[in-house]
Structure formats: structure tokens, C-alpha cells
A and B are shown apart, each in its own frame.
Chain A
Amino acid sequence: MKNRLRVLRAERAWSQADLAEHLGVSRQTVNAIETEKYDPSLPLAFKIARVFAMPIEQIFIEESAARAAE
């Protein structure tokens, strides 16, 4: 699963620690999601969408869809 977390975070000038605080998770979790080593659970994905005020599908993109877009 691809995601735009790093870009969205940078747009808001947030550090990983800042975003982790907003989400109530560890900084390591934010880092693992950003580096695409970990796909968050559905509840956490919804939380991320709420924090960025965006639909989930604009933050997380399925690999095949991302490849097709490239």
C-alpha cells in the first residue's frame, strides 16, 4: 500500500512526533507507515483521514492503482 503521509505532513510542517501526537500513536508507527513498512489498521487509517481532513483513498493508494497511475 502506497501512501502520501510524508507529503501531507510536510505540507503542514509537522514532524513525525507532531503527527504521532495527533494520532495518539508512537513516532515509530508514523515512521513505519511513511516508509511503507506497515499498513495501519482500519481505525487508525480513519483517524489519519480525520486528522488531514481528507478521504482515506486520497491518502492511501493501492499498489496496483499507484502503478497504473505511473
Chain B
Amino acid sequence: MSDGSVGHNEAGASQGQRRRFYGVATLSVAAALMSATGAPDPEATAWFQSLGLDASGARAAIHATPVVLSVVVLGGVVAIGARLKRGVRHTLYGVAGAIVGFCTALCMELFAGFEGILTALVGPLDEATDIVQLGWIFAGFSIIFGAMMAAFAVFGRRAVEAIQLESCDAEALDVRRTERFGFAWASVGLVGQGLAVGGLALAIQASANPMPGFGAGLVGAALFVASSWRLWAGFDEFLRRMVIDSYAISAILFTVGAFAWAGAEAIGAAPAIDAFGALLAFLALQTVTAMVRSSAMLGGDKLGLGLVR
């Protein structure tokens, strides 16, 4: 049997610093991968050229910007953050992420080649509405988080350590064999959710040929249901309670939001929302609620809302 105690000695402190470095490094690699999919914005290119760079130098600078920003802004927050309270620290992480994201979006159009791939598959696409664009963003997030869960399932503790921005209980980083199955099914569910929403978004945009998108959506929905069923069957009482709580909270929030929207629509203050918009709103609420709840219950912050008792 191993010793469950955690010492706060120098070795622990340097291990914590190493973990924080891994976290920043991983996010920077993710930023590099993301920027590789982008097409430079002409205005941003012109601005970099006005600084004395030639065309290829400006292009390289634009692609390097997300990586440099990630390292400088996020690394800086992590370095300062160790001395701050958890709530302040997490707010700073959010602000840092928003700055990096905003600057990156100014410099380039992300996933620029993606539309071309879709067009080659299903034919011409209609202009995406705001809701459809949100659907694509949500699908992308779901698939990225799904990939993260897959990395936990395959690489275990090494992958968990690679995204840590904060020092934490060493035991919390441990990934046992049984937990790897949980991460694998969570990955299937999240990728399925992304495929379901992305498939429907594609079906809406490809109005002349909606069946491929609808088919992809059906496959995604089936994966999502299979994953939910399998995870529920393997969960113990506490994990099931977290699922119940997150669905209960999201149902209440959705009802309140739907009432507010219906009221605003009735007096002409909001546009009508379609079934895809309603589905997207519920899935987004449920995903965020589940993440906040599980982070609160497993991570130790104060967002527990006192429901699991």
C-alpha cells in the first residue's frame, strides 16, 4: 500500500513548477497547431509588412503570434498566479485566454481550409447564420475536449500532467486502468456530440444536399447516447449524483432562459429560435454545467453550489 500523505517540501515545489511549465508548453503547442490551420488576414499582413517585414516574414510572424502570445500572456499569468487566490487566478486565466484568442482572430481566419473540404464533400454551402456559426464553434470545442479525453485514456498520467497549470495533489493526477475506460467513453461521447452538432450545422448550410450532414449527425448522436449509457452503467453513486445534478441545473437554467427568450420574442425584442438553436442552447448549457460541477466537486473550488450533500 502506498502512503497517501502529501508533503510540501522543495521537491514538491519544483515538481509543481515543472507541471506548470508542461501546462504552458502544451497550450502553446495547441496554439501552434491551431495557427497552422489559419489563413493570414490581409490587414494583419499589411501591418506586419509596415514594420519592415517582407511578405513571407509577415506570414511567419502571423502564424507565430498565437504561440508567442500563449507563452508570454499565459506563462506570465501562471507565474504571477501562484501567489494569488484561486478565484482571482482563474479569472486571470480566462482574461489571458480571451486576449490570446482575440489577437489570434485579428491576425488570421482560423480553420480556413475547412470550408473547402466541406464544399468538396457536399457541394456549395449557404451563408452560415449566427446560430449555425455557434454550432460550428461548439462542435469544434466538443471534438477538441474529446481528443483531450482520448489522450488521457491512452497516455494516462503523462497526459493529465501535460495540461496542469497548477500544482495539485499528486494522487489527483493518477489515472488507473479502470479510469482510462471512463476517459475513453467520455472521449467517444464528446466527439459524438461534436459530430452530431457539426453534422446538423452542415445539413442546414448544405440546403441543396442535407443528407450527408444529417447522416453524420445521426452517427454522432448514436455515439453520444452509447457513451452516456456506458458511462452511467459504470458510475458509482457519487459520479451518478454529479450527472443528475448537472442535468437538473441545466434544465432549470434552460427553462428560465427559454421563458425569457419566449417573452422577448413575444414583444418583438428577440428573433425566433429554431429547433437547432434550442438543441444547441441546451447542449452548451449542459456541457458548461457538467464541467463547472465536476471541476467544483473534484478540483476543490467553491462552485459546488451545495447541491451534492
Where the two chains meet, the residues of A that have a C-beta atom closer than 8 Å to any C-beta of B are: 1, 9-10, 12-18, 24-29, 31-33, 35, 37-41, 44
Contact = CB atoms under 8 A, between A and B. Distances in A.
A28 B309 contact: no
A37 to B, nearest CB: 5
A18 to B, nearest CB: 5
Given A15-B1, A31-B172, A32-B298, 7 more contacts: A10-B4, A10-B5, A13-B2, A16-B171, A27-B176, A27-B179, A37-B297
Contacts, number: 68
A13 B3 contact: yes
Contact of A17 (B5, B171, B296, B309): B171
Contacts of A9: 4
B217 to A, nearest CB: 32
A38 B296 CA distance: 12
Nearest to B172: A31
A51 B2 CA distance: 17
Contact of A38 (B4, B171, B300, B308): B308
Nearest first, the 9 closest Cβ-Cβ pairs linking A and B are A29-B238, A15-B4, A25-B236, A15-B2, A38-B308, A18-B1, A38-B238, A26-B236, A41-B237
Contacts of A33: 238
A65 B304 CA distance: 24
Please classify how large the interface on chain B is, using the bins under 10, 10 to 19, 20 to 34, 35 or more. Answer: 20 to 34
B300 to A, nearest CB: 7
Interface string B51-66: 0000000000000000
Among A25, A29, A40, the most chain B Cβ lie within 10 Å of the Cβ of A29
**Does more than half of chain B's interface fall in helix, strand or loop, or is it mixed?**
loop
B126 interface: no
A32 B174 CA distance: 16
B62 to A, nearest CB: 42
Given A27-B176, A39-B309, A44 B300 contact: no
Among A14, A15, A33, the most chain B Cβ lie within 10 Å of the Cβ of A15
A25 B309 CA distance: 17
B197 to A, nearest CB: 28
Among A10, A12, A26, the most chain B Cβ lie within 10 Å of the Cβ of A26
Interface string B231-271: 00001111101000000000000000000000000000000
Contacts of A1: 309
A14 B3 CA distance: 6
B184 to A, nearest CB: 15
B1 A31 contact: no
A36 to B, nearest CB: 9
A9 B237 CA distance: 21
A38 B309 CA distance: 5
A15 B297 contact: no
B2 A18 contact: yes
Contacts of B298: 28, 31-32
Interface in B274-298: 296-298
Contacts of B308: 32, 37-38
A22 B94 CA distance: 40
